[in-house]
Chains A and B, each alone.
Chain A
Amino acid sequence: MGVPFTFVHAADLHLDSPFKGLTKVPEAVRQRLRESTFEALRRLGNVVKQEGADFVVLAGDLYDAADRSLRAQLRLQRMLADWTAEGIGVFVVHGNHDPESGRQAKLDWPAGVHVFGSAGSAAECVPAYRRSGELAAHVYGISYPTAAVTDNLAMRYRKQEGAPFHLALLHANVDGDPAHDNYAPCRLAELAAAGFDYWALGHVHDRRVLHEYPHVVYPGNIQGRSVRETGEKGVYVVRVSEAGEVRLDFRGTSDVLWMEKGVSIEGAEREQQLKDRLLEAAEEARHSAGGRPVVIRLRLEGRGVLHDALLADSAAEQWLDELREWLGSPEERDDWVWPESLSVRTAGAANLRGLAAEEGFLGEFVRRGIRASEDPALGRELTDEALDVFRSQPKIREWLSSRSDEDRAELIRRAMELTASMLRDEDAG
């Protein structure tokens, strides 16, 4: 049969990616985050060397933007040159974030790096060798010519006999994951049936193994970039035995961890209690990060008496500022915890559903709100109407249109909580 070999499967490097959802960031945090994708790249390099990989496949989105930054190009070029100098082959496809059509000029790829083109009716096929020189596999791939590719690229992959192992490199959304842009849509069944031994995928940032034998694998990105990308991120080290057995080992590469934690206000009577709980959550996060810095989003949840106070204008922001102060400056320690935001998802002592059952204005109000939050069409209509004032602001319009139905429902729920709190306040006073 074939020869045993090892390769590293990484995707979505998003080098030099700006980070989402950060405000009022102190310089130490900004610096660390800015370097974090590169640091993750460095760790990837270490993995490649330590694991003795024969070659590396990078499944798209190496850069964060079509306008690849010079810094990102220089750093990647240096890393790739490092690998190729040791005889490690590199195979690359471009994804939606770094399509071939990028306006920005590009540096040359170091010799020994193969970048698959986008042209042609069929995926290009190139041989991959072990470091010792034996043929290990055929590698196939197609790059994105432009950012938005809506064709099913998987259809263009054709297996070419002559190698013990067939590895397909593809940046695509398998089975239409709604959390990601639906580029190069394809079906898992199609992939599984295409005759390749390993589909090295990119695009989805959560690592997942969709299928085994043939393996269909998303390794996820190498460094979380926003609070939506929490937890450890990294790459897969894939070992293929002589008999064609495939073993996957995950290796973490994150330099900074993103986390989201819920903190309940239930039973908290005084602000000191809430403070204690917030600090506890933050310290827990610090502990779990193993010495790495953490960017954390704290979600206040539950039903409690502090709800009304938290709903007040900019109360959440004040709490956030306080929390940052309590945790100490990131300038002073390496394993800092930076609370990225504090989202208030609490509910008042009274149940909205309970209110909805009541007669009167508030009852009617809550009933309407709940109707809108449960019916996506109604919710969409309500939010669009309410935010019609932004029709001349493309930035906000874009943000609004990218809100999912759940997001909108959440906004409506918060609006209801706020209103109920205000009307009740008045009522009580």
Chain B
Amino acid sequence: MFIRELHVDGYGALHSLSCSLHAPVTVVYGPNEAGKSTLLRFIRSMLYGIPTRKDLVERGEPVFGGRHGGRMLVSASGGRQWMLERYADGGGLRKTAGGLIVRDENGAELGWSQSEWERHGLGGVSERLFRQLFAVSLDELHELRTLQGEEIGNFLYHAGLAGGAALSEARKKLAGDMDKLYRPRGTTQEMNRILAAIKETEAVLRQSRSGVAMFLEAKEALARTEEKLLDLERTLPPLIEKVAELQGAVNLREWWLKRKLLLEEEEQLVRRLPNPQDQPLSDEAASAWAELQRNRGQARERYSSACLSVQQLRSELDALPWDEALLEHAAELEKLDAMREAVIARQEETESVTADLRLLEDTIQSLLSRLSPEWREDDLAAFASVTTERESLRRMQQAWGEAERRRERLEADAARLQRQREALTAEARNMPQAAQHMPDGTTIFRATSRETLQQAWNVLEDELRRFERAHTGGGAESTTGSADPRKGSSRAARQPARKPSLPLFAATALLALVAIVFAFSSNRMIFTAAAGVAAIFALFTGWAAFRMASFRRSPKLDSTNNMGEVLQERESRVRECLRDLLVNPDIPAASLLQDDVWKRLRRQVQDELSRLERREQELVRSQELQRRIAELDREKESLGAEIRAAIQRLDELQAEWSNWLGARKLPAALTPDSLPDLLNLAEQGQTAIRSRTRALERKSALDELQAGFRQSAAALFEVCPPPASMRTDPALSVTWLFRKVEEQRAVKAEAVRTERLLKQAEAAVIEARQVLDKAEGQVLQVIREAQAEDEQAYEQRLHIDERRRNLTRERREIELRLEAGRSAESAAALYLLLDSHDEAMLTTLLRQAEEARDASERERTELLDRRGRLAQELERLQREAEAEDRRLRLAELESKLEQLAERYAVLAIADRLLKDTKAVFEEERQPEVLRIASHYFAGMSGGAYSRIIAPADSNAILAETADRRLTDSAFLSRGTQEQLYLAMRFALAEAASGEIPLPLLLDDLFVHFDERRLRETVSVLGEIAQSRQVILFTCHRHVAEALQDGLPAAQIMEWAARGA
């Protein structure tokens, strides 16, 4: 790459600077502050972007104006040319996208980004590397000593691979990926985790019990158990049988003993019989015997009871006597007894009737006394027609009541009329006062009635209108023109020139105003009217004066004389009308034309009109009142006559009543109101007299009846006297006798019945005797048949035989129990066992057998149990074996591990290869760089030093002299040191940008070089300039001259100091 042109628009102290470079070596010579270093920075900025504000020195803000930035033309291999353009305000800052504009030789934009530019134009040399190797000042030159690390190593030796950054990046990434997979002693990395899991699973597998061994053991144990079980199945049944046998013997032993006892007892019984060989009598014999005995007993009993009943009946008959005489009068007594009840009832009735009679007498007497002291019983009877009287009495009473009520009502009406009259009179008294309120003589108007006033006013209004029309008609001819007087006045007011008497008018107006104001502030009507009139006068006066003047002045008026005549006529008419209207008509007609005056006058008229109307209404009302009072008086008089008539009627009624009372011997004090009571009492009295008559009749009938009864009873008592105590009361005696007859009749009937029974009983006794004889005969026959000595012996035999039968039955039962379910032999064995062992021995034997059996059974249960457990165990083992998949999981883990190991291996191998390759590269390539550097160093030092050596195992750089002495660069003189570093730079620059040779920018590096070394260095520069552009900046004349001498083709640009 070759920088052809530089165009600085503004950068640091530079502005609007253009220069073109054409020689391989360009020397920019100038004093301090000429802008050399600035130009160096400018070139860097053009290539890599303008630094941000963080680095103000490098940024180079323009000091003398100009746009911050510029352009640069560079040529590349193949004759291509690019124009670079960067401006700070165009976003041309370092490390930002855009801002850089690269154009090709045709001026077309290539649209490259910074990185594209660096790749295409700068051969991938980074800004950092460029600064270290290509754009060098003294500061950077000495940095080389510190650039011994990995990074510079990459830069130094692996140039060509994007400056070695990719290599560092790749190794870092590989290491990172590897670290993620595995680290020795790591725990979270994927492989570490899987390794741990595998270890764990293996441990579990190792520890898990040996399934097969357990399976075999269990199986064997199961077989052993089965065998033992079979053994037991054989030995157990006989044991159980034996136990059952012994148990049976023990259980049945009681029964066996009983049987033995029964046998013995039977033998004894047989021995007691007279004839032991006899078979026991049958069951029937015993029962037949019992039956016979019972029959005989019953027959005996019946016989004795029959005898007894005969005796009893006889004694009963003896104890039954009766009275025959009494029985003969039984029928008569019966009749009397039937009457007795009725007689007693009649007697009671007689008593009550007597009592009633007494009571009635009393009642009649008391009623009589209450009715009238003068009355006797016949009077009462004479008062027979009470009911007919009753109607006339009621009518009289009614008439009385009506008369009374009428009188009362009339009196009430009279009182009401009086009250009404009083009220009206009071109102009439107030009335005249209200009417007087209206002032009569203070009005300004002539008319005293409403109609006349109204008429007068209307005439005035018409006239005034005509007058006004005539008045205005002078100016505008029209008779139908506006009647608005205000217009006229306002027009007049607008013509100040035509108002010569304005002061006069003003004075009158003021007077009028004062009057009006005064009028308004007053309440009193009269005064108001007066004030109003005064005001109107005043206004008229003023206005008239003004008006006259204006008339006089008006040329129009002057010229129309006939018009003035009409006007005057009209005015006089108005004046007449006013006269009709007002008492004091001193108002000029013309003044009426004035608005305010007119209005006031109109209001006055209206007020007067309403006042007159009110007064008329009052008058009408007062007359009405008077009329009504007179009416009331008339009404009152007629009422008085009626009342008097009513009182008279009442007196008549009173007389009639007194007559009536006298006729009936009744006390005169009675009022008609007490009549109903009186009538009731009379009625009661008559009823009582009738009742008494009936009672007396009844009493005589009763007395007759009783006398009959007593006679019949007395006749009977002669024959059959009742007890003395009862003789006084025939009724009681009859009763007693009747009862006696009944008793005697019952006794007689009983005696007859007993006699009949006695006969029957005597027949029964004979029959019972026969039955008894037959039963005794049967008993004797049985005893004979059995060959028994007597009844007692036969009974004993029967007893013994029954016992024997019972014993035999019991024994059979026991034997059945003992032998049930047994064969004959086993039954025999049982009897033998029982015969040959006592109870204790049997129990012992049983216990022993039971123990043996229990032991066997327990063993069997245990074995069954164990068999079950073992079978389960086997099944479990089998099941577990089926479910076992740890090995499978282990295999999975191992697979995963292998996969990861493979991945890791790829990474590790890649890393290893990179490392190896790098080492080789360093070893093989370093000498090449150093060889070139040595060549330059030898040239610069004029052959004093022949070689530069950089041992791989140390950071030192050694210089070898021509005579092969090695010196560490740190110990070289400053100038030589710088020559050495410069030589290294040249060599590295060559290595780093072999493909695209970048220009070398050297900023005053030769200040410590002596003259000779400078010369030598210049020739080295000439050599380098053959392959790349070299730009030198210096402020030393001798340097510039040395370059010019050494390189005649060099272009020298001499700059003056800026800004000074």
Interface residues of A (CB under 8 A from B): 16, 18-23, 25, 30, 33-34, 68-71, 73-74, 104-107, 313, 341, 359-362, 364-365, 368-369, 372, 382-383, 385-387, 389-390, 392-393, 395-396, 399-400, 411-412, 414-416, 418-419, 422-423, 425-427, 429
Closest beta carbon of chain B to A121's beta carbon, Å: 31
Sorting the interface of chain B by its residue count into under 10, 10 to 19, 20 to 34 or 35 or more gives: 35 or more
Residues on A with beta carbons closer than 8 Å to the beta carbon of B907: 415, 418
> Which one of B891, B897, B920 lies within 8 Å of A18 (CB-CB)?
B891
* B881 is an interface residue with CB less than 8 A from chain A: yes
Residues on B with beta carbons closer than 8 Å to the beta carbon of A105: 210, 212-213, 215-216
In the complex, chain B residues 890-916 whose Cβ is within 8 Å of any chain A Cβ: 890-892, 894-899, 901-902, 904-914, 916
Given contacts A30-B885, A104-B210, A412-B909, contact A368 B216 (CB under 8 A): no
Closest beta carbon of chain A to B500's beta carbon, Å: 116
Residues on B with beta carbons closer than 8 Å to the beta carbon of A400: 901, 905
Residues on B with beta carbons closer than 8 Å to the beta carbon of A21: 895, 898-899
Q: Are the C-beta atoms of B917 and A361 separated by less than 8 Å? A: yes
Q: Which B residue's beta carbon lies closest to that of A65?
A: B887
* B281 is an interface residue with CB less than 8 A from chain A: no
Given contacts A23-B899, A73-B212, A107-B216, contact A364 B921 (CB under 8 A): yes
Residues on A with beta carbons closer than 8 Å to the beta carbon of B878: 70, 74
In the complex, chain B residues 149-167 whose Cβ is within 8 Å of any chain A Cβ: 158, 160-162, 165-167
Closest beta carbon of chain A to B101's beta carbon, Å: 22
In the bound complex, CA of A362 to CA of B914 (Å): 9
27 A–B pairs (Cβ distance < 8 Å), ordered by A: A18-B888, A21-B898, A22-B892, A23-B899, A68-B212, A71-B882, A71-B884, A74-B881, A104-B212, A313-B177, A360-B160, A368-B913, A368-B920, A369-B913, A372-B913, A386-B911, A392-B184, A395-B198, A396-B195, A411-B902, A411-B905, A415-B909, A415-B913, A419-B170, A419-B913, A422-B169, A422-B174
Residues on A with beta carbons closer than 8 Å to the beta carbon of B665: none
* B211 is an interface residue with CB less than 8 A from chain A: yes
Residues on B with beta carbons closer than 8 Å to the beta carbon of A33: 888
Residues on A with beta carbons closer than 8 Å to the beta carbon of B174: 422
> Which one of A34, A396, A419 lies within 8 Å of B901 (CB-CB)?
A396
In the bound complex, CA of A16 to CA of B115 (Å): 61
Residues on A with beta carbons closer than 8 Å to the beta carbon of B877: 70
Residues on A with beta carbons closer than 8 Å to the beta carbon of B914: 365, 419
Contact with A along B40-84 (1 / 0, CB 8 A): 000000000000000000000000000000000000000000000
In the bound complex, CA of A241 to CA of B908 (Å): 61
Q: Which A residue's beta carbon lies closest to that of B891?
A: A18
> Which one of B195, B210, B896, B921 lies within 8 Å of A23 (CB-CB)?
B896
Closest beta carbon of chain B to A285's beta carbon, Å: 20
> Which one of B170, B182, B212, B910 lies within 8 Å of A70 (CB-CB)?
B212
Besides A387-B908, A395-B897, A400-B901, 17 more A-B contacts (Cβ < 8 Å) are: A18-B892, A22-B891, A70-B878, A74-B878, A105-B213, A360-B161, A368-B917, A369-B913, A372-B913, A382-B913, A399-B897, A415-B913, A418-B906, A419-B910, A422-B174, A423-B167, A423-B170
* B173 is an interface residue with CB less than 8 A from chain A: yes
Q: Are the C-beta atoms of A427 and B910 separated by less than 8 Å? A: no
Q: Which B residue's beta carbon lies closest to that of A16?
A: B887
Residues on B with beta carbons closer than 8 Å to the beta carbon of A70: 211-212, 215, 877-878, 881, 884
Closest beta carbon of chain A to B473's beta carbon, Å: 115
Q: Are the C-beta atoms of A19 and B888 separated by less than 8 Å? A: yes
In the bound complex, CA of A423 to CA of B913 (Å): 13
Residues on B with beta carbons closer than 8 Å to the beta carbon of A73: 212
> Which one of A22, A107, A411 lies within 8 Å of B906 (CB-CB)?
A411
Q: Are the C-beta atoms of A71 and B881 separated by less than 8 Å? A: yes
In the complex, chain B residues 210-244 whose Cβ is within 8 Å of any chain A Cβ: 210-213, 215-216
In the bound complex, CA of A395 to CA of B900 (Å): 12
In the bound complex, CA of A107 to CA of B884 (Å): 18
In the bound complex, CA of A26 to CA of B884 (Å): 16
Q: Which B residue's beta carbon lies closest to that of A106?
A: B212
Interface residues of B (CB under 8 A from A): 115, 158, 160-162, 165-167, 169-170, 173-174, 177, 180, 182, 184, 191, 195, 198, 210-213, 215-216, 877-878, 881-882, 884-885, 887-888, 890-892, 894-899, 901-902, 904-914, 916-918, 920-921
In the bound complex, CA of A23 to CA of B887 (Å): 13
Closest beta carbon of chain B to A44's beta carbon, Å: 20
> Which one of A20, A387, A412, A425 lies within 8 Å of B891 (CB-CB)?
A20
Residues on B with beta carbons closer than 8 Å to the beta carbon of A399: 897-898, 901
Q: Are the C-beta atoms of B895 and A20 separated by less than 8 Å? A: yes
Q: Are the C-beta atoms of A427 and B161 separated by less than 8 Å? A: yes
Q: Are the C-beta atoms of B885 and A34 separated by less than 8 Å? A: yes
Q: Are the C-beta atoms of A382 and B210 separated by less than 8 Å? A: no
Closest beta carbon of chain B to A325's beta carbon, Å: 19
Q: Which B residue's beta carbon lies closest to that of A419?
A: B910
Closest beta carbon of chain B to A21's beta carbon, Å: 4
Interface-central residue, B184, B902, B904, B917, by most chain A CB under 10 Å: B917
Residues on A with beta carbons closer than 8 Å to the beta carbon of B210: 104-105
> Which one of A25, A341, A418 lies within 8 Å of B910 (CB-CB)?
A418
Q: Which B residue's beta carbon lies closest to that of A313?
A: B177
Residues on B with beta carbons closer than 8 Å to the beta carbon of A427: 161-162, 166
Given contacts A415-B907, A418-B906, A427-B161, contact A382 B912 (CB under 8 A): yes
Closest beta carbon of chain B to A310's beta carbon, Å: 13
Residues on B with beta carbons closer than 8 Å to the beta carbon of A385: 912
Interface-central residue, A34, A70, A383, A411, by most chain B CB under 10 Å: A70
The 7 closest A-B pairs by CB, nearest first: A426-B166, A18-B891, A415-B910, A415-B909, A386-B912, A105-B213, A71-B881
Given contacts A368-B920, A386-B912, A414-B906, contact A34 B898 (CB under 8 A): no
Residues on B with beta carbons closer than 8 Å to the beta carbon of A361: 158, 160-161, 167, 917-918, 921
In the bound complex, CA of A385 to CA of B916 (Å): 11
Q: Are the C-beta atoms of A389 and B212 separated by less than 8 Å? A: no
Q: Are the C-beta atoms of B195 and A393 separated by less than 8 Å? A: yes
Given contacts A360-B161, A411-B906, contact A69 B881 (CB under 8 A): yes
Q: Are the C-beta atoms of B901 and A362 separated by less than 8 Å? A: no
Closest beta carbon of chain A to B907's beta carbon, Å: 7
Closest beta carbon of chain B to A14's beta carbon, Å: 12
Q: Which A residue's beta carbon lies closest to that of B894?
A: A395
Q: Which B residue's beta carbon lies closest to that of A314?
A: B903
Residues on A with beta carbons closer than 8 Å to the beta carbon of B884: 69-71
Q: Which A residue's beta carbon lies closest to that of B893?
A: A23
In the bound complex, CA of A74 to CA of B115 (Å): 72
Closest beta carbon of chain A to B770's beta carbon, Å: 109
Residues on A with beta carbons closer than 8 Å to the beta carbon of B909: 382-383, 386, 411-412, 415
In the bound complex, CA of A34 to CA of B912 (Å): 40
Residues on A with beta carbons closer than 8 Å to the beta carbon of B162: 426-427
Residues on A with beta carbons closer than 8 Å to the beta carbon of B887: 16, 18, 69
Q: Are the C-beta atoms of A389 and B908 separated by less than 8 Å? A: yes
Q: Are the C-beta atoms of A387 and B904 separated by less than 8 Å? A: yes
In the bound complex, CA of A418 to CA of B903 (Å): 11
Residues on B with beta carbons closer than 8 Å to the beta carbon of A418: 906-907, 910
Q: Which B residue's beta carbon lies closest to that of A361?
A: B161
Closest beta carbon of chain B to A190's beta carbon, Å: 36
In the bound complex, CA of A70 to CA of B882 (Å): 8
In the bound complex, CA of A423 to CA of B163 (Å): 12
> Which one of B212, B899, B912, B920 lies within 8 Å of A107 (CB-CB)?
B212
Q: Which A residue's beta carbon lies closest to that of B887?
A: A18
In the bound complex, CA of A341 to CA of B898 (Å): 12
Residues on A with beta carbons closer than 8 Å to the beta carbon of B894: 20, 395
Q: Are the C-beta atoms of B913 and A396 separated by less than 8 Å? A: no
In the bound complex, CA of A231 to CA of B165 (Å): 49
Closest beta carbon of chain B to A31's beta carbon, Å: 9
Q: Are the C-beta atoms of A368 and B170 separated by less than 8 Å? A: no
Residues on A with beta carbons closer than 8 Å to the beta carbon of B906: 411, 414-415, 418
Residues on A with beta carbons closer than 8 Å to the beta carbon of B198: 395
Q: Which B residue's beta carbon lies closest to that of A35?
A: B882
Interface-central residue, B173, B891, B921, by most chain A CB under 10 Å: B891
